[in-house]
């Protein structure tokens, strides 16, 4: 199996979508893994930030980055191999019937479960961050009240 062409509209002046072409419909496991790793590297951060904007549209930049970092930590610790195998399987299934892939379309339509899982992680991490922030605010108020309250015996 040889990859014959990868086009990227970011580097070429065209209206075409990103496209991956192979010379046959046979895809070995190592090549599928290489493509899966490339897709993860290229799209994961875009998907996560898109999910953050969808769920928590009014977050400032530092909060967005904190949620992003938290999601990435969880993925690295728990889900990286699972995500890689899922995407690798989808790629292998796709190239069993096709030899040309619209990369953006593949990510948007064939990886819906991956996108949904990332959105769930974003929600969990974002709500955890807000809960911790509320907890810290509550502790600060309690400390303030304790400091200004005159306790008499």
- Strand 19-22: give its sheet, edge to edge: 3-7, 19-22, 100-102
Q: Where are the alpha helices (DSSP H) in the chain?
A: 29-55, 61-74, 80-97, 103-105, 112-148
Considering the domain boundaries, does residue 123 fall inside one? Answer: yes
Nearest to 22 by CA among 92, 108, 89, 83: 92
Residue 35 sits in which domain range?
A: 24-132
- Separation between Cα atoms, residue 115 and residue 55, nearest integer Å: 13
Considering the domain boundaries, does residue 107 fall inside one? Answer: yes
Q: How many domains does the chain have?
A: 1
The gap between the terminal CA atoms of the chain, to the nearest Å, is 84
Considering the domain boundaries, does residue 57 fall inside one? Answer: yes
- Separation between Cα atoms, residue 40 and residue 80, nearest integer Å: 10
Considering the domain boundaries, does residue 29 fall inside one? Answer: yes
* pLDDT string in tens for the chain (153-residue length): 455 555 655 554 444 458 888 876 678 888 899 999 999 999 999 999 999 999 998 888 899 999 999 999 999 988 889 999 999 999 999 998 888 899 999 999 999 999 999 999 999 999 999 999 899 999 999 988 888 876 655
Considering the domain boundaries, does residue 121 fall inside one? Answer: yes
Considering the domain boundaries, does residue 83 fall inside one? Answer: yes
DSSP 18: P
Considering the domain boundaries, does residue 145 fall inside one? Answer: no
């Amino acid at each position: 199996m040889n990859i014959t062409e990868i086009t990227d509209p970011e580097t070429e002046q065209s209206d075409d979508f990103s496209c991956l072409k192979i010379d046959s419909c046979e895809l070995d496991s190592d090549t599928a893994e290489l493509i899966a790793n490339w897709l993860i590297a290229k799209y994961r951060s875009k998907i996560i930030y898109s999910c953050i904007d969808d769920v928590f549209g009014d977050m400032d930049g530092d909060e967005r980055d904190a949620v992003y970092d938290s999601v990435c930590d969880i993925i690295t610790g728990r889900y990286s191999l699972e995500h890689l195998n899922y995407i690798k399987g989808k790629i292998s299934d796709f190239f069993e019937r096709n030899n040309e892939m619209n990369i953006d379309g593949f990510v948007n339509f064939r990886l819906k479960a991956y996108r949904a899982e990332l959105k769930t992680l974003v929600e969990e991490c974002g709500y955890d961050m807000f809960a911790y922030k509320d907890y810290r605010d509550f502790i600060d108020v309690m400390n303030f009240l304790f400091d200004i309250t005159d306790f008499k015996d």
